[in-house]
Amino acid sequence: MADFDFAASLQEQISALFHHRVHLVVRSISPSVAICYMPQHVDTKELHTSILSPLQQLGQTPTIEDLRSSLPIGEIMDVAAIPECAPLIVKGWVYIATPQAGIAANVADLPKRSLTSPENETTILGPMVAFTESIGMNTTLLRTSIPDTELCSEEYKIGNKRNTTIHLMFMADRANPDRVELVRQRIKQLRLNDVTGSSELMHMIQDNDLSVFPQLMLTERIDLASHSLIEGKIIILLDGSPLVIVGPSEFIDFFLSMEDRYLGWGIGTFIRALRMVALILSVFLTPAYVAALTFHYEIIPSSLLVSLIESRSKVPFPPLFETIILEVTMELLREAGARLPTKVGQTMGIVGGIVIGQAAVQAGFTSNILIMLVALAALGSFATPDYLMSSSLRLVRYPMVIFAGIWGSIGIVFVTSLVTMHLIRQTSLGRPYFSPVHPIKESDLAYDEVLLPEPKGLTATGHKVRKYVRSISLRSLWTGKIDN
């Protein structure tokens, strides 16, 4: 009778934690030992082999140490009070209770996604494995990629309701200790009920959440995360998210891709320069069109000016309104294509753009030249590897267009100055965000912009490679011989 009373009491207490609205299994092993678990969340075979069979071989009144030593399971933790076992049971743990105390053993068999290739950060060369929603698998992937004892991992719990697990990872011999401590304090100071994704967590711990520019990077690529760790950066993993947070991140980092390194220094440097051109087109192309047609006709060649006048002869709107309407239309097409199913969204984006563009020109709603410029600006924004930075640049284009329509080139210079001053004032985990442009660091700037070949036999990366960049001469690049 005593074993029934203990098991029934345990079931009543744990069920009360879930408001008696959950399927729990409570089994009595002996008069003083009972187990509790959710059958849908555990590995049934592991449960019988590693928990039930060993426990049934114990005596009538085993101690906690007897329970712990009898279980052939690697992940076991003490549970001081019954309320502490509730989140563990949900995650697939088995709660093993005695009248005095209890322990929990992990035999979880939860649904998880297998390894796949990156969906958003695709590359032609390089590894084809991306992170998943399992924080344990993601941590294992990073440790397998960097089998170094200096790789440290710290675990934290955030969220009063979800109690989400966070892993803070860094290289002890490369990461800045002050920045690591800064991230620790920001994670510990989080007071919230729920964190649904890495992007939400990123905005909570970055230096200035009011800025439209991201100060930390999100990536799904294992090679980028591993390279960032070796460079001395910090990685934050969130359970349930396939994206990891990388910091500190500079403004220039958002325009670099791991594929640049795989293509070789020559092609990689050309691609990086091409992205800088795409950045200029994305931000300044349509504002320059508005400023030129509104205030600065004299800078347009005569032959081109005639074509512009003929193209806009039937347009009833001034260049400012015409450009804003077309930019908003492009954003609507982009948003609709992203929200629809993949195949439908791609078809809708292509067909919708062609049909709307042709109909708008024939109806005299806009000019064909502006459609071409807006399309080029959109292509420029798509060339940015980071999605958040691409969205920020598109947002900056709107005030640029408005002030270009009000003040012409002065308006463009005004907004550019404001954005530049804003970027200079920003920091990423205490590191200057606009570095190496401000404060100026010639070696870092050369390393970021020009992807030169690394010296053979160099065991360290980062600052040593940047110093090495200074020693490379044009003659060595011409002859193809570089002295270490």
Q: CA torsion 160→79→104→5, rounded to 10°?
A: -110
Residue located via tokens 């399927």: 23
- Asked if the structure places residue 437 within a domain, the reply is no
- Asked if the structure places residue 457 within a domain, the reply is no
- Residue range 321-343: mean pLDDT, rounded: 83
- Asked if the structure places residue 231 within a domain, the reply is yes
**Are residues 69 and 24 both part of a single domain?**
yes
Whether the CB-CB separation of 418 and 212 falls below 8 Å is answered with: no
φ, ψ for residue 243, nearest 5 deg = -110, 140
**Are residues 229 and 293 both part of a single domain?**
no
- Asked if the structure places residue 290 within a domain, the reply is yes
Per residue in 377-416, pLDDT tens? 988 988 888 999 999 999 999 999 999 999 999 999 999 9
Picking from 91, 106, 121, the residue at the C-terminal end of a domain is 106
Handedness of CA 277, 279, 282, 287 (dihedral sign): negative
Closest CA to 235 of 145, 320, 303, 322: 145
Tokens of 211: 């800025």
Neighbouring residues of 151: CB distance < 8 A, sequence distance ≥ 6: 142, 143, 169, 170, 171, 172, 229
Picking from 380, 405, 424, the residue at the C-terminal end of a domain is 424
- Residue range 133-152: mean pLDDT, rounded: 90
**Are residues 394 and 285 both part of a single domain?**
yes
**Are residues 19 and 82 both part of a single domain?**
yes
- Asked if the structure places residue 385 within a domain, the reply is yes
- Asked if the structure places residue 419 within a domain, the reply is yes
Please give the distance of CA 81 from its chain centroid, rounded to a whole number. 37
Per residue in 455-476, pLDDT tens? 555 444 444 444 444 444 444 5
Helix (H) / strand (E) containing 391? helix 387-407
Neighbouring residues of 16: CB distance < 8 A, sequence distance ≥ 6: none
Q: How sure is the predictor about 447, in pLDDT bands with cuts at 50, 70 and 90?
A: low
Q: What burial class does residue 67 get, using C-beta atoms within 10 Å of its C-beta: 0-12 exposed, 13-18 middle, 19+ buried?
A: buried
Helix (H) / strand (E) containing 164? strand 164-171
Closest CA to 216 of 243, 237, 185, 247: 247
**Are residues 85 and 172 both part of a single domain?**
no
> Which pLDDT value is given to residue 142?
93
**Are residues 358 and 396 both part of a single domain?**
yes
Whether residue 109 is predicted with pLDDT greater than 60 in this model: the reply is yes
Closest CA to 35 of 71, 347, 19, 16: 71
> Which pLDDT value is given to residue 151?
92
Quote the DSSP letter at residue 123. Answer: -
Task: In whole angstroms, give the CA distance from residue 337 to residue 349.
Answer: 5
- Asked if the structure places residue 125 within a domain, the reply is no
**Three-class DSSP category at 118:** coil
**Are residues 278 and 412 both part of a single domain?**
yes
> Which pLDDT value is given to residue 286?
94
Please give the distance of CA 348 from its chain centroid, rounded to a whole number. 27
**Are residues 51 and 142 both part of a single domain?**
no
> Which pLDDT value is given to residue 111?
77
- Asked if the structure places residue 35 within a domain, the reply is yes
Domain count of the chain? 3
Tokens of 45: 């075979």
Picking from 67, 88, 106, the residue at the C-terminal end of a domain is 106
**Are residues 281 and 237 both part of a single domain?**
no
How confident is the prediction for the chain on average, in pLDDT?
Answer: 84
Tokens of 435: 């570095």
Range of the domain at 268: 261-424
Tokens of 298: 């004299």
φ, ψ for residue 85, nearest 5 deg = -85, -15
**Are residues 235 and 377 both part of a single domain?**
no
Per residue in 287-331, pLDDT tens? 999 999 989 888 888 888 888 888 887 888 899 998 998 899 888
**Are residues 283 and 360 both part of a single domain?**
yes
Task: In whole angstroms, give the CA distance from residue 20 to residue 6.
Answer: 18
